[in-house]
Structure 1
Amino acid sequence: MSDYDLSALVRAGIDGDDDAWHELVRRHARLIAMVVRQYRLSAADAQDVSQLVWLRLFENLRSIRDPDGLPGWILTTTRHECQRHVRRKDRSIAIDPLTLATFRSEDQTELDGTLLAAERHEVLLTAMAELPPRHQQLLALLLVDPPYPYTEVSRILDIPVGSIGPTRRRALEKLRETTVVRAYLRAHSEPARTGGVRDAAAELER
């Protein structure tokens, strides 16, 4: 079953094939974990979000018209579930004035850096949703930490290992031209601040 292409796996999953479902989970678990990590959720909360994403996929697998777009669907759904979870947490957490009063400047600097990194990551994930499904799949496999080796990418996407590099470069070119990346770079025109998205994209070129 692990040799099936994504379309075949989705069709088999719709037909109730347990092996196909387990293979879908195996292929995309790291993708969900990558998004969840950006929101700095607790282990329990991260597990809750992951389970919700798989539940959403189970409920909506039949409605996914283009199976090759599944990685983009998972990226978007995971991001939305994380955001909903954070909003629920924000409404339920009481702020202690004494805590705010003792908040150190170095804490604020670290928080600002974390928020900026999260913003850049959000831009990348949103931009990936604008790409063609095949490019979404490829970048999703290379963006996780650790990234899938080329041999595994070749097997999952059913493409020659030698074509991965050129396809990746084309995908990155399209990524840089997406509406959200161009808007982000215009809004953060200072050289010190534009590096984030470019540096993140550059990591994929290595």
Structure 2
Amino acid sequence: MTAMNTEDGIADFQRRAELLKLARSGDRVAMKSLVDDLGPLLWRVARYQGLSIDAAADVVQTAWMKLVKHWESIEEPQAVTAWLTTTVRRDAQRIRTAARRESTIDPVEFPDPPSPLTDSVDEQLIRKQEHRAVRRVLARTGSPCRELLAYISAAERPDYDVIAQSLGMKKGSIGPTRGRCLARLRRDLQKEPDWGHGEER
């Protein structure tokens, strides 16, 4: 990843963050600019999940509606790209899974009920505490690690083409950068009181 590519990627995140701030204040031109900027990327994410043209269009439109509804909850405006792509990807996966289920389950038969949850209250609490620790560490992590880890953690099969385009990175540099970012994340997590609860990991 060249310095120019990195700078371009960071500049894109900063520009989109400013557009989000303006859109929050009621600037329709800023909102349109944000849609024009990220629309093609979101479309590609939806189509990559195997959706039809119509389904992809619906998912992308719904993502924008969700953004307007929840944008005050986005604490870091720089995260708007990851927020939108994650929303599109999850909704697309949900639709694809539902369509697959409808095509494979006989309408007169019902699948076995899911197994009951076996996690204890303590285990659930530990997971929540560790999740908060991860969020705190990521909030302190600079670009491009924060955005890269957000993309990768949100997808079962990360699309490196989409990540490269969005972050301004070379596709071949994503893997090595991911390794360095994860190593740094692990080191920082060891310093968090909610991570591991004093046990060696």
1:84 and 1:31 map into 2 onto residues whose CA distance is: 19
2:178 and 2:163 map into 1 onto residues whose CA distance is: 19
1:42 and 1:75 map into 2 onto residues whose CA distance is: 17
Preserved contact between residue 68 and residue 134 of structure 1 (Cα < 8 Å): no
Matching residue of 1:46: 56
Please list the CA deviations of residues 107-163 of structure 1 after superposition, one character each: whole Å capped at 9, or x if unmatched: xxxxxxxxxxxxxxxxxxxxxxx79573238xx8x9449948x9xx6xxxxxxxxxx
Preserved contact between residue 34 and residue 145 of structure 1 (Cα < 8 Å): no
For normalisation by structure 1, the TM-score amounts to 0.49
- Which structure ranks higher in relative contact order (CA pairs < 8 Å, sequence separation ≥ 6)? 2
Aligned residue type for 2:67: L
Which structure 1 segments of 5+ residues have no match? 97-129, 154-163, 180-206
Matching residue of 2:123: none
1:5 and 1:16 map into 2 onto residues whose CA distance is: 17
Preserved contact between residue 17 and residue 79 of structure 2 (Cα < 8 Å): no
Please list the CA deviations of residues 155-206 of structure 1 after superposition, one character each: whole Å capped at 9, or x if unmatched: xxxxxxxxx88xx95x754313455xxxxxxxxxxxxxxxxxxxxxxxxxxx
Query: For residues 6 and 39 of structure 1, do their structure 2 counterparts lie closer, same or farther at Cα, with a shift above 3 Å needed?
Result: closer
- Percent identity (aligned): 24
* Equivalences for residues 64-103 of structure 1 within 5 A: 64-93=74-103
1:77 and 1:32 map into 2 onto residues whose CA distance is: 9
Tell me which of 176, 179, 201 is aligned to 1:176. Answer: 179
Matching residue of 2:41: 31
Preserved contact between residue 39 and residue 82 of structure 1 (Cα < 8 Å): yes
Aligned residue type for 1:48: D
* Equivalences for residues 136-147 of structure 1 within 5 A: 136=147, 143-144=161-162, 147=165
Aligned residue type for 1:176: G
Q: Aligned-pair distance for 1:92?
A: 2.7
Structure with the bigger percentage of helix: 1
1:46 and 1:22 map into 2 onto residues whose CA distance is: 19
Query: For residues 10 and 86 of structure 1, do their structure 2 counterparts lie closer, same or farther at Cα, with a shift above 3 Å needed?
Result: same
Aligned residue type for 1:8: E
Please list the CA deviations of residues 15-51 of structure 1 after superposition, one character each: whole Å capped at 9, or x if unmatched: 1111011111111112212211222211111111111
Which structure 2 segments of 5+ residues have no match? 1-11, 107-137, 152-159, 183-201
Matching residue of 2:127: none
For normalisation by structure 2, the TM-score amounts to 0.50
1:49 and 1:177 map into 2 onto residues whose CA distance is: 33
- Correspondence 1:134 to 2:137: no
Matching residue of 2:110: none
Query: For residues 70 and 178 of structure 1, do their structure 2 counterparts lie closer, same or farther at Cα, with a shift above 3 Å needed?
Result: same
